[in-house]
């Protein structure tokens, strides 16, 4: 039963992660023809929405992606306890980055990982939010990639430290080996998406140069 519940948490997390936040917000913005997968940086996420749709809609997508990451963890925790929360959070990042319904072509998962952090590692939230902000505001891919790699490493390292020290974790699950493992898997998925993304030197008026 424990394995079945954990598997269910992973499935639920993945499905929640595939929720097309960017597509829905694009339609609400009255820009159905502005497919974020073919405009700007061609990434269906908040950073590209800032360029193509504007700041207001970009923030809307950012909030929606953070919310679905946190909601996935909450659902996973309800179904399979603390480990289920970690598993569902990572699955949500995977679902966002590789959605089955979109031919496995999704966003980069940074905002969803903020939601994962908010639910499972609240002690690290201030740093994670700073990283998300830097990623959204980034104008050069190399700088954004470096920021993400450094922050992802810190996220994993902090998870190890909190687990070994047994430090308080706010409303999140009690630190266990599942914390750094989940962080590491999510971080690896996010970094792989950045590595696979087209190189962007600069962005001006929604055009990639």
Q: Is the dihedral of CA 11, 172, 177, 187 positive or negative?
A: positive
Q: Which domain holds residue 161?
A: 2-208
* Beta bridge partner(s), residue 204: 207
pLDDT in tens, 85-138: 999 999 999 999 999 988 998 889 989 999 999 999 999 988 777 765 665 555
Query: What is the structure's pLDDT at 109?
Result: 92
- 205/101: higher pLDDT: 101
More confident residue, 132 or 29: 29
CB atoms within 10 A of CB 34: 17
Report the domain count for the chain: 1
- For the cut 80, the answer to whether the pLDDT of residue 171 exceeds it is yes
Give the end-to-end CA distance of the chain in Å, rounded to a whole number. Answer: 53
- Least confident residue range of 20-24, 34-38, 79-83, 95-99: 34-38
Task: Give me the pLDDT at residue 196, please.
Answer: 85
Question: 141-165 and 110-120 helices cross at what angle (nearest 10)?
Answer: 20
């Amino acid at each position: 039963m424990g394995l079945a519940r954990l598997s269910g948490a992973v499935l639920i997390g993945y499905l929640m992660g595939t929720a097309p936040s960017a597509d829905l917000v694009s339609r609400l913005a009255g820009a159905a023809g502005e497919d974020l997968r073919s405009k700007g940086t061609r990434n269906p996420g908040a950073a590209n929405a800032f360029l193509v749709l504007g700041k207001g809609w970009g923030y809307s997508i950012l909030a929606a992606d953070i919310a679905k990451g946190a909601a996935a963890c909450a659902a996973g925790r309800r179904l399979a306890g603390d480990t289920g929360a970690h598993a569902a959070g990572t699955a949500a990042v995977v679902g966002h980055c590789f959605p089955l319904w979109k031919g496995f072509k999704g966003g980069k998962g940074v905002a969803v990982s903020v939601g994962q952090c908010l639910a499972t590692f609240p002690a690290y939230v201030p740093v994670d939010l700073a990283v998300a902000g830097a990623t959204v505001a980034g104008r050069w891919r190399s700088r954004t990639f470096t920021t993400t790699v450094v922050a992802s490493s810190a996220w994993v390292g902090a998870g190890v430290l909190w687990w070994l020290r047994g430090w308080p974790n706010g409303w999140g699950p009690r630190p266990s080996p599942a914390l750094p493992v989940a962080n590491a898997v999510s971080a690896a998925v996010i970094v792989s998406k950045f590595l696979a993304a087209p190189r962007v030197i600069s962005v001006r008026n929604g055009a990639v140069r």
